Every structure is written in C-alpha cells, then in structure tokens.
C-alpha cells in the first residue's frame, strides 16, 4: 500500500482542486457530523493534501494529519502550515509520540481508512490516542457496483489492456474494504468504539467551473477534462498510458482519449459530468473507561 500511494500521490496532489470540488458534499457531511471547534485537538487519518486539516484549522482547532505518502503530507503541509504532519501508518504509529500533546478530541477521515492490513488493530490504535468521549467521523465507499466512480471512462482504457485490472474487492484493503456495513460495525466495536453508520448518497459533479465564464453551460467547464485528468492519475490510468501510448503511438493514444471523452459526454447532465456516489458516513464514539 505504501508503494501504491508513493506512485499515485502525484495525481492527487496535481488534481487537488478537482477532488475538493467533486467531494465537497462529502467534506461537508464529515464536518457537520464532527463539529470541529476551537480548543479541540483533531487527528485526520489519511489526510491527503489537507482538506479537512484546513477546515479544522479555520475552526480554531489544533490539527494533526497522518498519511502514509510523503508527497501527500508535503502537500498538506504547504496548504496548512499550522498543521502537524506525520508520515506513517495509523495502524501501527504511536500517534501521541509522533504528535505529542493531549489525547485527540476528534478523528476525521475522507476516504483515508480503507487501506489498513488489519483494520480492527488500526481502529484500536487510533482509539488509544483519543480522549474518553472522543468522536471519530469518516466516510468510506460502499460497493463498487453502486459507484460509477470506479468505471466511468476508465472502462474504455481497460477494454484495450492485455491484462484487465479487477474492480475493488469488498472486504479487502482498498477503496471498498468497508462496503459491508455489518462487518464495518463489528470491526469498530471490536476496536472499542461505539459506532453509528448511515448511508451517504451524493452527486459527484466534475463541472468545477474553472474555465471560461465559470458558469456551467455558458462557457464554463463541463467536467469532461476534469474527469479525464483524474482517470489518468489512477493506477489503472497510469498503467494504461504506460502500456498503450507506446503501442498506439501519439495519434492512436489521442484517439483513445477521445473515446474516453465521448463516454464521459454521455454523462453530462445539466451542463456537467455528474454521477451518484454511494458511501457510508460513520460516526463512532470512544466510550472511555
């Protein structure tokens, strides 16, 4: 997993603004459930480039981020200079040694907790660094079949590959590790948390409005190029480029990307590429001793 994120972090950093726009409803749901406030100590697990850290700092909280990717942590450090950044694995890191201070009042994560080799051990390790009554709030994906995020546009590239990558597998470390609600609740309870899990259904809208007039449908972005950029930054996208661009040549590769754009244009609704996102919103409390 460390190697995966070492190779893939560059795309997330480069496309930070796109991801923040697409996942704005997810960020809002996490912040609403977490209730970050001045005087709290907040840990962001799998902090990426620092979206939640920035929100916590703006609320006056003391914010600490941990991410397995040095490039992600560097991006978060640039974005939120006031944050403490730890490069490490939240499953095994001694969190209060790595970021000395009082136990955490809040733990948050946006798609950052699904990659642990032993999730029960990871959630237990995180809980040990929190105060009694502390709240953990995170969002994770439900099943891949419910989420066009994993196939839309990407499927055009996959069809041309010699070896087809598999979709994320529910229950295994990866994006859909916690698709099974019952299993997730059991893992959290095993780790000592008191969990509440509810469906979170959002619209993933790639029409960021960053080009032209900034208004969708009147010269602004329709989201096609934004979605394409994020596809090419994924492991599948990078592997497809490495295999197919040399084989097809510049003209053939450009034509293949046009095929991807054509598929994406079929999902333009009200002026922008948009599709549903199916997730779990998890709120868990540390009952203490």
3-state secondary structure of 87: strand
Instruction: State the pTM of this model.
Output: 0.92
The pLDDT of residue 164? 86
* Tally of CB atoms within 10 A around 78: 11
The pLDDT of residue 84? 98
The pLDDT of residue 143? 95
**Cα–Cα distance measured from residue 181 to residue 212, given in angstroms and rounded to the nearest whole number:** 42
| Domains defined for the chain, CATH in brackets | 2-144+167-204+276-285 (3.40.50.150)
Q: CA triplet 87, 92, 98: central angle to 5 degrees?
A: 45
Tens-place pLDDT, residues 44-97 = 999 999 999 999 999 999 999 999 999 999 999 999 999 999 999 999 999 999
Q: CA triplet 204, 205, 210: central angle to 5 degrees?
A: 145
Tens-place pLDDT, residues 172-214 = 999 999 999 999 999 999 999 999 999 999 999 999 754 333 3
The pLDDT of residue 166? 77
């Amino acid at each position: 997993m460390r190697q995966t994120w070492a190779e893939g972090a560059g795309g997330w950093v480069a496309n930070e603004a796109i991801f923040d726009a697409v996942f704005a409803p997810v960020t809002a749901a996490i912040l609403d459930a977490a209730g970050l406030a001045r005087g709290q100590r907040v840990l962001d697990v799998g902090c990426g480039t620092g979206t939640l850290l920035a929100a916590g700092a703006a609320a006056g909280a003391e914010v600490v981020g941990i991410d397995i990717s040095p490039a992600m942590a560097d991006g978060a450090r640039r974005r939120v200079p006031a944050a403490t950044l730890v490069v490490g694995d939240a499953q095994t890191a001694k969190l209060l040694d790595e970021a000395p201070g009082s136990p955490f009042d809040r733990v948050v994560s946006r798609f950052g907790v699904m990659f642990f080799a032993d999730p029960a051990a990871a959630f237990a390790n995180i809980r040990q660094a929190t105060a009694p009554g502390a709240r953990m709030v995170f969002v994770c994906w439900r099943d891949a079949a419910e989420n066009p995020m994993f196939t839309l546009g990407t499927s055009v590239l996959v069809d041309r590959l010699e070896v087809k990558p598999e979709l994320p597998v529910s229950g295994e470390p990866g994006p859909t590790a916690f698709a099974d609600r019952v299993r997730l609740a059991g893992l959290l309870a095993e780790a000592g948390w008191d969990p509440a899990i509810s469906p979170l259904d959002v619209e993933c809208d790639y029409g960021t409005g960053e080009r032209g007039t900034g208004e969708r449908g009147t010269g602004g972005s329709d989201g096609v190029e934004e979605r394409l950029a994020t596809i090419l930054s994924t492991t599948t996208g990078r592997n497809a480029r490495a295999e197919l661009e040399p084989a097809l040549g510049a003209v053939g590769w450009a034509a293949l990307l046009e095929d991807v754009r054509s598929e994406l244009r079929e999902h333009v609704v009200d002026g922008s590429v948009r599709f549903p996102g199916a997730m779990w919103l998890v709120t868990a409390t540390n009952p203490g001793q």
